[in-house]
Structure 1
Amino acid sequence: MRITGCVWMFYVCIKSVFAQVVLPQYPDSIFSTYYHQRWSHFNTLPQTKGDIIFLGNSITDGAEWSELFQDNHIKNRGISGDFTAGVLHRLNEVAERKPDKVFLLIGVNDLARKISTDSILKNLFLIADFIYQETPATQLFIQSILPVNDAFRSFTMHTNKGDSIRLINKALQQQAALHHYTYIELNKAFSDKEGKLNKAFTNDGLHLKGEGHILWKHLVYPYVYDLQPKPALIPLPQQLTYDSGYFSLIACKTIVIEQDSLRKEALFLQQSLLNKGLSATITTKADTSQPFIQIKISKVDAPMLPEEAYRLQVTEKKVTMEANTLHGIFNAVQTFNQLARDGVLIDACNITDYPAFAWRGYMVDVGRNYQSVDLLKQQIDAMAAYKLNVFHFHPTEDIAWRLAVKQYPQLTTPENMERNKGLFYTEDDMQTLIRYCKDRYITFVPEIDMPGHSAAFTRAMKTNMQSDSGLRIMKDILKSFCNTYNIDYLHIGGDEVKITNPQFLPDIIAYIEKLGKKTIGWMPGGNLATQTIRQLWQGNTPILKKNGLQYIDSRHLYLNHMDPLESVVTIFNRRIGNETAGNNTILGGEICVWPDRAVANEEAILKQNPVYPAMLAFAERAWRGGGNEGWVANIGKPGEPMTLAFTEFENLLLDHKQEYFKGKPFPYVKQTNTIWNFYGPYSNNGDLAKQFLPETTSFNFNNNMPAFKAVGGTVILRHWWAPMIKGLIDKPAENTTWYAETKLWSEQDIIHTFWIGFNNLSRSPATNSPESGTWNNLHSSIWVNGKIISPPAWKHAGMKGNAEMPLADEGYEYRQPTAIYLHKGWNTVLVKLPVGSFAADWQNPVKWMFTFVQVN
């Protein structure tokens, strides 16, 4: 049947009328005085948006939700005695607030009123349909009706309804998708062996005591904050199994240690509990009548690195942390902190854990751009939380020497610095950092770069470091340094320099070793001694498994070169040192932050480099081992094992962003839910603006098979380090154009924000800023629903590369996201990706890529 325009509009209008959800009208007289008191109170409260609302009867009313979650965005809309009709009667007040989430628990009072299960379900589905209609962005969670218990002989009209409750819950679970809500099963966790409300949670068979509200919080916590059902553990333990039951953090009042040597670790744990509002006393004897935590040194078998291994067992009565060493206990405490995410209960579990690599490092370049001790401590704390154990500190550079030396104060005078003039690290600062690391079982590795990267030394001392006088001064500095600071290693640099004195590095290495320190040097670099540990930094440097050489792998682990979304992908997939686990040759790896380019302020180092998301990805890989062969730049194709593995990790990563990095730069958002269809290649013959079929209205994406599909928010067609780092296209060709298409679903007409970019500039070279009116110099374009998305009004549009001009908005992760209107239903995104020649200079490399991903 053909429908004409006018008839069609009439048909749509009639259909929309019939589809409209209209709330039933009830007389006020059927509701209690208390109901009207509460409802009138709700109507006079401020109309805040985006809240989380707990909606229901007395069971909901009885909880202090904002205090329980320590979150003022969580609001109580429970009314004692309420039933489904009462919720419908006052549902407008909830919907008008446009809450982020609604948690509904209602129905037991209906049963007590002898309302049929069919009528109760009809009302529940009507509630769900109305919320979806009025505020489709609101997530509705309908919780199962809790069990009841008739043993208390109270509320007898309620507590005999167990069979009806089970029937309603089953229907609620089955109908969730149809009515646009998420079903939460609470009933089972609250039931005893007979399926009745466990007496531990109630004193009347219907309502909850404090212990019941604690369990309720634990069960809904992941839904409230969009988290995984179980705590996200990073790094994931080598062995982990969950058991039934919970350990009560609320009831735990003691931390038991048998040896006083464990007191420091116990104090760390005690402080962690205090941060969650919990108090526990450190003692040497357990009160077994109450839940307690025990820390002890005992043998833990591990196939490798037993000095860091630990065992963590959680039961209903006890948490046991045991390890071979104090370091192992410290590692156990970090895992315990993640298990205790909600601050009330921990799921019973058994963990045996140990690292795959001994050297799990993080390096900061504070020579080029100074960082305060407080900011460094923040990063060290993050390292400790994720079991990284080496902090590599690089304070001397061409730009500035930032290491105080009493004999040579001219090294740190402002006139000898080119950036952050006068900012350096005193002896007290260094001692503070060393001690701060040691307290967290992190090895502090300072680097005095020599003989390269030493222009600041030359300016201050008026002599070249490789000269006879320069060598004497350096030995004087090294003697003082090694005698002043309690360190095990000294990194000597040794790279990117013309060696004019072949004896310089051998003499320096021998001298440092005479002072009792081990040496590390960059490779490729100068003529290092056999016993000096090589830190690999460039290219695909071969690893020679002979002559007793040892290595730390930092190849393609420089965060300043990485797009944020790419960084997590490539590091998660990395096979450190080309090995799945460490050995006598491959000690481990190290991620590095080298922001060669000047920054506007120290916080920009964390905003413009993906420090924290990359740190967590590296912690996972360095602790767990494994990884994939080659250097990976993209997530992969839909459904591939590699894609699925990364998706699982991404879910954990986003939980940690939400829970532990609030208020800190964490440039990462979910990208595994974006699947692109790629069309091409089209030869553009050097005309990058040339149009091809996919950007014309005659092209139907549904009728044209894509060349391939790929998953990701950042997609790299060809890396600037190709072919060493493989892009998405097997054989990328110059002067070609590709198109990428995807579709986005929106529940309503709304403006969303997106990260969009086509060349995430490295923070090292002096790269040119984009020209005004362009996304990049490749004529890349993007359309949403056929509408071109304009590039930002660049602050430094067309500026030629300048290492002393801080980046301002060139990267999507540190500029305002792009606001885009999406209509209700499916929205089409089309990206045009032309490229000309792959040839480019170091300052402006061609990285053929794009980023498009939703932020909010």
Structure 2
Amino acid sequence: MKKALLTIICFLLQHSIFSQVVLPSYPDSIFSTYYQQRDSHFQTLPQTTGDIIFLGNSITDGAEWTELFNDIHVKNRGISGDITAGVMHRLDEITNRKPVKVFLLIGVNDVARNIPSDSIVKNILIIADYVRQQSPSTKLYVQSILPVNNVYGKFNTHTDKGEQIKIINAKLKASTNSHAYTYIDLYSSFADENGKLKANLTNDGLHLKGKAYLIWKHILYPYIYDLERNPSLIPLPQQVSFTTNYFPLFDCKKIVTENSVLLNEAENLKQQLWEKGIIMDVNKPSGTDEPVIELEIGKVETPMLEEEAYRLSVTQNRILIRANTAHGIFNGIQTLLQLTRDGSLVTTCEITDWPAFSWRGYMVDVGRNFQSMQLLKQQIAVMSKYKLNIFHFHFTEDIAWRLQSKMYPQLTAPENMLRNKGMYYTVDELKELIAYCKERYITLVSEIDMPGHSAAFKRAMGVDMQSDSGIVILKNILKEFFTTFKDLPYFHVGGDEVHISNKNFMPEILRYVESFGKKTVAWSPGASLDNKTIRQLWMSDNGKRNISTLKFIDSRHLYINHMDPLEAVVTIFNRQIGDTTREDDNINGGTLCLWPDRKVENETDILKMNPVYPGILAFAERCWRGGGCKGWTATIGTPGSPEANEFTEFENRLLDHKKLYFTELPFPYVKQSQMVWRLYGPYENNGELSRQFEPEIEKLNESQLVSSQIVTGGTIILRHWWAPLIKGVLNHPKENTTWYAYTKIWSDEERLREFWIGFNNLSRSPATDSPDSGTWNNLQSEIWVNGNEIPAPDWKRPGQKGNSEIPLVDEGYEYREPTKILLHKGWNIVLIKSPIVSFKGKDWQNPVKWEFTFVPVCSY
């Protein structure tokens, strides 16, 4: 049998790799009965999709991969005793499944049979080429052969081949580009200083013990889930450096602290690790050398805001979080939890971190659309994980008043509400929400908007807020509120979008609120405010930003209900909070706002139709890190430019978090930085939207047409509808012009792929009209892929005139079914036509959005 096997291997070596790879055929009889048992078992298993397959010998066979990764798509195709020829013999069973990924580890048994190194390498390369040929979309990862160790005196024919293993690994690493696979170096992490398998990871010098598989998992984790090599941290710490060692989380049994003030934080960390399957106790330091996580109050010096600063040190036997306060410890814990992404090991690192702004807020409007306590807590929990610390709770509106008043129950009577009738928050529920925030170092800022946005008050009480009797009622409501909810340091009085008929109204209300020891916040521009009130900017401050005695919070162009999901992340990431790179005497920070004015069918639509979680993460990055670009821009930048590279680096971290932490939550964002477009124009259309020009009349030849510019992104905003405040990609956009956009998309094989396509991402605030039947938008925009026009969706409500009481259903690409397009093998040509006549919409509810979105939903 051995002679026949060697003959087959030699036959393979005599043939170089041709464009068409044909595997040899040989009888099952040359393989062991165990091999035949396993192979026949694999052949009968269901043909599933989306699989990640581990392929190899006993070292692969010995792992429970599905449990290790807690993922039913990760499957074992290891057979004890297998060799490269055995893998080739059963390779069709793998390729026929069209798996997403294959992780191959093979060769150590070939070495034990004295098969030459070149023979082993060439067999592995044939395997790689065959996988590529038969299943082009499958990503192949060739793992280095592990080191061996003869210390146990077992498997001597294997454990004396250490030098040969090094030679094979070097050749496999050198062949990655020419054979289209990714090489993964396992050897370095498993070898001791003498190049032998670490003795504590094996009990026979060849096979692995349980802890070794956890190390293996740690190494492969980013490859399994297409993550960055080091854990992606959001917000990125001010100072962070990773090294190549690791802390054995699987060996750690204790969280220790000497300070009783930190016991709550220790218990919370214990609970969150338990949810990852990591069991620990909370103790005092014992002085032993066992691995521990230690929490410590101690001096951490930073340039600013030391109250929230922390230092996080991960070594091979200790994780230490030191901070000046318990809040700083909490912040450090959030970073640590992101470092523990695989639940096995923590990469060694040193982090010193502090926020650039002290006010990092998120606001929800529950007056127009009620949100359940569960949904509110979900958002608050996400806030806390990303170190936001202000929850702005806007619960009164024209639509409804949604906080219980025992003094005036008519405020929350169903007949006085226009939507979600009878749905409001009880006193106990708000207390519960305040406590929930406090546990997470988040300050809840309640808002009673006055005297504007107060139609619900007027319906219930029968008087205008600005009237004398209205002011008396308001004072009673405020007194009831402050005596009931005593621990809230701030109170938001609204003050925007209203005609002030009583000039004394706001000064009197501010004095009254401040008499209860509250710091006041109000919208600006708006009513007349005293100098003690913090101004929350929603538009220009008309020069007041330069008055040194005033404090500001920035919410300008931070309304995510107005933003296209892809634009939102770009715009928020690029901006400077308050036009400054860090907190100063005027700017305390900013608040990201969610104003879903239009009625929603289900409360979860609020998160599906608005880029809430992508926006929160982008905002958390910017308001913690500081920095940003001057002005407001919705563009990623020229490909390869510093600003585009910086965005791409953040986007990679953002998508890591989507994969790891938002699998069960709405997260309307996909990778867009890879989309590079050539723009052709402007072509004067003289007001004729349907007029055709060179790029669509003739088959577009990239070499013959001269593009005006090259831009990056999944959503390209030619001219922002709030121009010139916000910059689109065109420096000098003109009315009555047509532009074309061209890009190419590669496909490894012919297949259907899903795309987000759109030309007018409707805001969730104004009552905008729906597109007409058969059109993408009402500007006659068109799209072709490989010369074939892509038809617009069959809209559920085509031509529907804007109505705030009619919920959106499919108007946005992010919440309707993606468009399916058949791609050819190789390059696919995408051409988009985007004409414009006037930049002025028919009314304020229907602004002209000159933009397009085209991006694959999945990157593979």
TM exceeding 0.5 = yes
Identity of counterpart residues, as a percentage? 61
Contact kept, 8 Å, 2:413 with 2:422, in 1: the verdict is yes
Give the C-alpha shift of residue 84 in structure 1.
0.2
1:628 alignment partner in structure 2: 629
Amino acid at match of 1:843: Q
Corresponding residue SS for 2:262? helix
Amino acid at match of 1:47: Q
Give the C-alpha shift of residue 116 in structure 1.
1.1
Alignment of 1:544-559 (within 5 A): 544-559=545-560
Amino acid at match of 2:295: I
- 2:377 aligned with 1:377: yes
Give the C-alpha shift of residue 543 in structure 1.
4.6
1:716 alignment partner in structure 2: 717
**Structure 1 outlier segments of 4+, above 3 Å:** 539-543
**Whole-angstrom distance in 1 between the partners of 2:671 and 2:116:** 44
Alignment of 1:592-631 (within 5 A): 592-631=593-632
1:845 alignment partner in structure 2: 847
Corresponding residue SS for 1:235? coil
Corresponding residue SS for 1:171? helix
2:453 alignment partner in structure 1: 453
Contact kept, 8 Å, 2:523 with 2:535, in 1: the verdict is yes
Corresponding residue SS for 1:282? strand
Corresponding residue SS for 1:429? helix
- TM-score normalised by length of structure 1: 0.97
From the superposition, tell whether residues 785 and 541 of structure 1 become closer, same or farther in structure 2 (CA, over 3 Å).
farther
Corresponding residue SS for 1:490? strand
Corresponding residue SS for 2:38? helix
Amino acid at match of 1:228: E
Alignment of 1:308-707 (within 5 A): 308-485=308-485, 486-539=487-540, 541-707=542-708
1:277-324 CA-to-partner distances (Å, cap 9, x unmatched) read 111010113362321111111111111000000011111111111100
From the superposition, tell whether residues 96 and 543 of structure 1 become closer, same or farther in structure 2 (CA, over 3 Å).
farther
Contact kept, 8 Å, 1:540 with 1:724, in 2: the verdict is no
**Whole-angstrom distance in 2 between the partners of 1:541 and 1:713:** 35
Give the C-alpha shift of residue 177 in structure 1.
2.0
Contact kept, 8 Å, 2:548 with 2:585, in 1: the verdict is no
Amino acid at match of 1:235: P
Corresponding residue SS for 2:277? coil
Amino acid at match of 1:493: G
Contact kept, 8 Å, 1:242 with 1:350, in 2: the verdict is yes
Corresponding residue SS for 1:814? coil
Give the C-alpha shift of residue 40 in structure 1.
1.5
Amino acid at match of 2:781: S
Task: Please identify, of 192-201 and 506-515, the stretch whose mean Cα deviation from structure 2 is larger.
Answer: 192-201
Give the C-alpha shift of residue 698 in structure 1.
4.7
Corresponding residue SS for 1:311? strand
**Whole-angstrom distance in 2 between the partners of 1:75 and 1:303:** 50
1:248 alignment partner in structure 2: 248
**Whole-angstrom distance in 1 between the partners of 2:542 and 2:223:** 47
1:149-192 CA-to-partner distances (Å, cap 9, x unmatched) read 22222211111222221121112112112222111111111111
1:215 alignment partner in structure 2: 215
Give the C-alpha shift of residue 822 in structure 1.
0.2
1:228-260 CA-to-partner distances (Å, cap 9, x unmatched) read 001000000111112232111111101101022
1:488-533 CA-to-partner distances (Å, cap 9, x unmatched) read 1010000000000101100000000001111000001000111000
| Corresponding pairs, count | 840
Amino acid at match of 2:142: I
2:10 alignment partner in structure 1: none
Alignment of 1:65-76 (within 5 A): 65-76=65-76
Alignment of 1:160-239 (within 5 A): 160-239=160-239
Contact kept, 8 Å, 1:540 with 1:555, in 2: the verdict is no
Corresponding residue SS for 2:177? coil
Amino acid at match of 2:189: A
**Whole-angstrom distance in 2 between the partners of 1:260 and 1:540:** 46
Contact kept, 8 Å, 2:548 with 2:586, in 1: the verdict is no
Task: Please identify, of 422-431 and 148-157, the stretch whose mean Cα deviation from structure 2 is larger.
Answer: 148-157
**Whole-angstrom distance in 1 between the partners of 2:754 and 2:577:** 36
Corresponding residue SS for 2:251? coil
1:65-93 CA-to-partner distances (Å, cap 9, x unmatched) read 11111111111111111110000011111
**Whole-angstrom distance in 2 between the partners of 1:699 and 1:127:** 40
1:198-237 CA-to-partner distances (Å, cap 9, x unmatched) read 1121122211111211100000000001100010000001
Contact kept, 8 Å, 2:389 with 2:442, in 1: the verdict is yes
Give the C-alpha shift of residue 702 in structure 1.
2.3
Contact kept, 8 Å, 2:404 with 2:427, in 1: the verdict is yes
Contact kept, 8 Å, 2:525 with 2:540, in 1: the verdict is no
**Whole-angstrom distance in 2 between the partners of 1:247 and 1:698:** 58
Task: Please identify, of 565-574 and 18-27, the stretch whose mean Cα deviation from structure 2 is larger.
Answer: 18-27
Contact kept, 8 Å, 2:232 with 2:338, in 1: the verdict is yes
2:266 alignment partner in structure 1: 266
Amino acid at match of 1:844: N
Amino acid at match of 2:104: L
**Whole-angstrom distance in 2 between the partners of 1:720 and 1:747:** 38
2:856 alignment partner in structure 1: 854
From the superposition, tell whether residues 23 and 669 of structure 1 become closer, same or farther in structure 2 (CA, over 3 Å).
same
From the superposition, tell whether residues 601 and 541 of structure 1 become closer, same or farther in structure 2 (CA, over 3 Å).
farther
Amino acid at match of 1:195: G
Give the C-alpha shift of residue 728 in structure 1.
0.6
1:82 alignment partner in structure 2: 82
- 2:103 aligned with 1:118: no
**Whole-angstrom distance in 2 between the partners of 1:114 and 1:722:** 72
**Whole-angstrom distance in 1 between the partners of 2:543 and 2:124:** 65
Contact kept, 8 Å, 2:632 with 2:725, in 1: the verdict is yes
Give the C-alpha shift of residue 117 in structure 1.
1.2
Contact kept, 8 Å, 1:254 with 1:286, in 2: the verdict is no
Give the C-alpha shift of residue 540 in structure 1.
6.8
**Whole-angstrom distance in 2 between the partners of 1:574 and 1:646:** 12
Give the C-alpha shift of residue 614 in structure 1.
0.6
- 2:71 aligned with 1:61: no
Corresponding residue SS for 1:701? coil
**Whole-angstrom distance in 1 between the partners of 2:481 and 2:716:** 46
**Whole-angstrom distance in 2 between the partners of 1:698 and 1:751:** 23
1:776-801 CA-to-partner distances (Å, cap 9, x unmatched) read 01110000000000000111100111
**Whole-angstrom distance in 2 between the partners of 1:18 and 1:278:** 50
**Whole-angstrom distance in 1 between the partners of 2:458 and 2:519:** 26
Give the C-alpha shift of residue 18 in structure 1.
6.4
**Whole-angstrom distance in 1 between the partners of 2:183 and 2:560:** 41
**Whole-angstrom distance in 1 between the partners of 2:217 and 2:541:** 51
Contact kept, 8 Å, 2:236 with 2:625, in 1: the verdict is yes
2:754 alignment partner in structure 1: 753
Task: Please identify, of 671-680 and 238-247, the stretch whose mean Cα deviation from structure 2 is larger.
Answer: 238-247
Amino acid at match of 2:414: P
Contact kept, 8 Å, 2:524 with 2:541, in 1: the verdict is no
2:133 alignment partner in structure 1: 133
**Whole-angstrom distance in 2 between the partners of 1:219 and 1:730:** 46
**Whole-angstrom distance in 1 between the partners of 2:167 and 2:743:** 42
Contact kept, 8 Å, 1:144 with 1:183, in 2: the verdict is yes
Task: Please identify, of 616-625 and 36-45, the stretch whose mean Cα deviation from structure 2 is larger.
Answer: 36-45
Task: Please identify, of 351-360 and 158-167, the stretch whose mean Cα deviation from structure 2 is larger.
Answer: 158-167
From the superposition, tell whether residues 698 and 127 of structure 1 become closer, same or farther in structure 2 (CA, over 3 Å).
closer
**Whole-angstrom distance in 1 between the partners of 2:452 and 2:845:** 21
From the superposition, tell whether residues 428 and 553 of structure 1 become closer, same or farther in structure 2 (CA, over 3 Å).
same
Unpaired runs of 5+ residues, structure 2, are 1-16
**Whole-angstrom distance in 2 between the partners of 1:779 and 1:286:** 73
Corresponding residue SS for 2:176? coil
